């Protein structure tokens, strides 16, 4: 077991005090003579010394660690989000402790663990948490930001895309291009993303006097989109346009339409949501709504830094980032 080198050993070798070694490895160490510093670095190099980050956290009482709790890592949207977060945080010298909420596991169970690590901040993506837990976090003084979820009437900050407006825009697009028999394939009804998209879509349809939207309950997966679409196509009133609550379901929808020998978009138009990279692929060429993920992430990181630096400022901030329609080939009559 190769004993780990400590600053004391470096100090001995360099013939300085341990404090001096510490200073040399502190981010800003103006108070060290160049010659001394050289000697210390030299000794450290020789011994293969690395400062112990744990001990540093201990005395500074700040961890430089951001906890991220993410529920659907494998869904196509989140790896990108995660990657971006990692890059941004690494760039500002923060590190990321990542937790996943496994299927059927409540986030409330894992949050206490995260909190034990004294994380400076906590990002919760794609899940909500109970209000009891919110209180816990607030009490522990941890900066918490929800990503792509909102908890209404709580004092917790959040960054999400403006899903209501996104849904409204899809309604306008489909009506403007002359579609008559609209359907909506919903994601899980306990996700605010789905609910907002649906509400915006439905509300706008109603405002414009459209009646009779069909609806299928699905679950954000390819298979559920596929199956729901088959069901819709078998109905008495066969839709001529289907808005899917996310892209993955929309791919399933497109494949289902083709399976029935129909053409997208001539027979049925399909719209997705998220604009994941695959949406641009030849085989699908999916018209969808892009969430401006880069901006969302930027805002989240900014908010986080703000919260960490000014924990006293507790008024929640909700950033709502508008999405953009991305017109490709899966809706007839546009462009």
Partner DNA sequence: TTGAAAGCGCTACCAA
Partner DNA sequence: TTGGTAGCGCTTTCAA
Which one of DNA, a second copy, none interacts with residue 17, CB within 5 to 8 A by kind? Answer: DNA
Closest CA to 328 of 282, 284, 286: 286
100 counts as binding a second copy under rule CB under 8 A: yes
Q: Is 78 in the site for a second copy (CB under 8 A)?
A: yes
CA angle 326–216–237, rounded 5-degree value: 90
Beta strands in the chain (DSSP E): 65-70, 95-100, 121-125, 143-147, 157-161, 182-186, 214-217, 241-244, 269-271, 288-290, 318-321, 324-326
**Rounded distance between C-alpha atoms, residue 332 and residue 209, angstroms:** 21
Of these partners, DNA, a second copy, none, which one is at the site of residue 79 (CB under 5 to 8 Å by kind)? a second copy
Binding at 48: pick from DNA, a second copy, none (beta carbon under 5-8 Å per type): a second copy
Contacts with DNA by CB under 7 A: the residue count is 30
Q: How far apart are the first and last CA of the chain?
A: 68
Q: Which among DNA, a second copy, none contacts residue 95 (Cβ within 5 to 8 A by kind)? A: a second copy
141 touches 311 (CB < 8 A): yes
311 contacts a second copy (rule: CB under 8 A): yes
Largest Cα–Cα separation, the chain = 88
- Residue 114 CB, nearest distance to a second copy (Å)? 8
Q: Which of residues 227-286 bind DNA (CB under 7 A)?
A: none
> How far is 108 from 123, CA to CA, in rounded Å?
14
| Binders in 288-307 for a second copy, by CB under 8 A | none
- Here's the x/- map for DNA, 31-70, by CB under 7 A: it reads as xxx-xxx-----------x-xx--xx-xxxx---------
Pick one of 42, 112, 208, 333: the residue that binds a second copy (CB under 8 A): 112
Query: Which residues of the chain form contacts with DNA (CB under 7 A)?
Result: 4, 6-8, 15-20, 22-23, 25-26, 30-33, 35-37, 49, 51-52, 55-56, 58-61
């Amino acid at each position: 077991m190769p004993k780990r080198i400590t600053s004391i050993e470096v100090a001995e070798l360099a013939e300085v005090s341990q404090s001096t070694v510490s200073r040399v490895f502190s981010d800003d160490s103006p108070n060290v003579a160049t010659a001394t510093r050289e000697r210390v670095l030299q000794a450290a190099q020789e011994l293969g010394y690395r400062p112990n980050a744990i001990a540093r956290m201990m005395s500074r009482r700040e961890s430089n660690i951001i906890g991220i709790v993410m529920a659907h890592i494998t869904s196509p949207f989140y790896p990108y989000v995660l990657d971006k977060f990692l890059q941004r945080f690494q760039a500002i010298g923060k590190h990321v402790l990542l937790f996943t909420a496994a299927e059927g596991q409540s986030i409330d169970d894992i949050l206490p663990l995260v909190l034990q690590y004294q994380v400076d901040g906590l990002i919760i993506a794609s899940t909500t948490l109970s209000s009891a837990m919110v209180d816990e976090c607030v009490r522990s003084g941890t900066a918490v930001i929800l990503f792509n979820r909102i908890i209404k009437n709580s004092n917790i900050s959040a960054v999400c895309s403006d899903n209501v407006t996104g849904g409204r825009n899809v309604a306008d697009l489909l009506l403007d291009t002359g579609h008559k028999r609209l359907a909506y394939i919903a994601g899980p009804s306990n996700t605010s993303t789905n609910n907002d998209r649906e509400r915006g879509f439905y509300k706008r349809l109603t405002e414009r006097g459209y009646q009779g939207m069909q609806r299928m309950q699905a679950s954000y997966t390819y298979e559920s989109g596929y199956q729901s679409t088959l069901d819709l196509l078998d109905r008495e009133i066969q839709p001529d346009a289907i808005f899917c609550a996310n892209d993955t379901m929309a791919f399933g929808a497109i494949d289902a339409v083709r399976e029935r020998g129909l053409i997208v978009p001539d027979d049925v138009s399909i719209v997705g949501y998220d604009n994941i990279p695959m949406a641009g692929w030849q085989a699908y060429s999916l018209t969808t709504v892009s969430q401006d993920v880069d901006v969302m992430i930027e805002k989240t990181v900014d908010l986080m830094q703000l919260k960490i630096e000014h924990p006293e400022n507790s008024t929640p901030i909700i950033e709502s980032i508008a999405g953009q329609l991305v017109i490709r080939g899966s809706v007839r009559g546009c462009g």
